[in-house]
Amino acid sequence: MDEFAMLQLRKIYGINKAEFKERFGIAIEKRYSEILKKHKDNGFIEEDDGFIRFTIKGLDMANLVFEDFV
């Protein structure tokens, strides 16, 4: 799950929430609630149209976000 989330986040469209749930049987928000909240609050990631992706600000801080997923 960690590797999948990290690798998908590297893509422009980000993590497909439905695909994550289908693949792992758990909602990404449930598995990574603290990490997602932390980085949304920091303005590094955003949710839109069923995807979680980096913001422009977050692209510069990607390594910090990735650290939390591993």
Write the pLDDT tens digit of every residue in 14-33. 999 999 999 999 999 999 99
**What is the value of pTM for the model shown?**
0.89
Which residues is 16 bridged to in the sheet? Answer: 51
Task: Supply the angle between the helices 17-24 and 2-9 in degrees, to the nearest 10.
Answer: 160
Q: What digits encode the pLDDT tens for the residues 42-59?
A: 999 999 999 999 999 999
pLDDT band at 70 (very low <50, low <70, confident <90, very high): confident
Pairwise CA distance, residues 49 & 67, whole Å: 25
Please tell me whether residue 46 adopts helix, strand or coil conformation: strand
pLDDT of residue 69: 83
């289908």: which residue's tokens?
A: 22
pLDDT of residue 7: 93
